[in-house]
Chains A and B, each alone.
Chain A
């Protein structure tokens, strides 16, 4: 089954520690994204990558870093510089739909809920 895996589902860290969120996809999509969602809010783009070894900052990249060494993987590191890292993090790809009407679609992983204590 093709899809996006994010692990772990829940993550707890102490303030001041860096933490890396995993995102793996087997959809063979070139474009990958990281979003942050705060309670009652929409999705805000952190970083996105259109191809291996290339990525661009989104609207709220400060305090975050990414790498794209393989097509399948796009890990996100939340650094200690991020002032308020507690949030729900969603990884996504972009590609052609596999069912339903012909269209492109943004596919999402199940998300990681990060809590910094």
Chain B
């Protein structure tokens, strides 16, 4: 079975601090991609970062980095130097390469940045 678990329904972080959003996944596929998306209150889904299962280095995109621990099946998102505009829902997703392009999403984490 393919599954994504985000155990933090809500998180708070002080402005300019770093925050880690947790994501664990379950798949029997050896090849897969892991994605993080941000959803502001407007509803649009904004791509943040991608990690392939065979990538040896953790992915980074500006203030976003992905802490990929393959053996533990975790793909945590780290946001450094939080900004007020980071307040949003964050979704972790997985695409196993063997499922014909199907994606699996977690239930999301609501992040609030406090001034």
Q: Which of B43, B101, B106 contacts A94 (CB 8 A)?
A: B101
Contact string against B for A residues 58-79, beta-carbon threshold 8 Å, 1 for contact and 0 otherwise: 1000000000000000000000
Q: How many interface residues does B have (CB within 8 Å)? A: 22
**Chain A: interface secondary structure?**
strand
- Interface size on A (CB < 8 Å)? 29
- Taking CB atoms and an 8 Å cut-off, the chain B residues in 12-43 that contact chain A are 33, 35, 37, 43
Residues of B within 8 A of A92 (CB): 45
Q: Mark B30-74, 1 if CB is under 8 A from A, else 0.
A: 000101010000011101001010000001010000000000000
Chain A, residues 26-43, CB within 8 Å of chain B (1/0): the string is 000001010100001111
Per-position contact with B for A97-117: 1 when CB-CB < 8 Å, else 0? 100110111111011010000
Is A90 close to B, CB under 8 A?
Answer: yes
Q: Please tell me if the beta carbons of B102 and A101 are within 8 angstroms of each other in the complex.
A: no
Q: Shortest distance in angstroms between B93's beta carbon and chain A's nearest beta carbon? A: 7
Interface contact B100-A42, CB-CB below 8 Å = no
Q: Which of B37, B44, B50 contacts A103 (CB 8 A)?
A: B50
Q: B residues touching A (Cβ–Cβ < 8 Å)?
A: 33, 35, 37, 43-45, 47, 50, 52, 59, 61, 91, 93, 95, 100-103, 105-108
Name A residues whose Cβ lies closer than 8 Å to a Cβ of B.
31, 33, 35, 40-45, 48, 50, 56, 58, 88, 90, 92, 94, 97, 100-101, 103-108, 110-111, 113
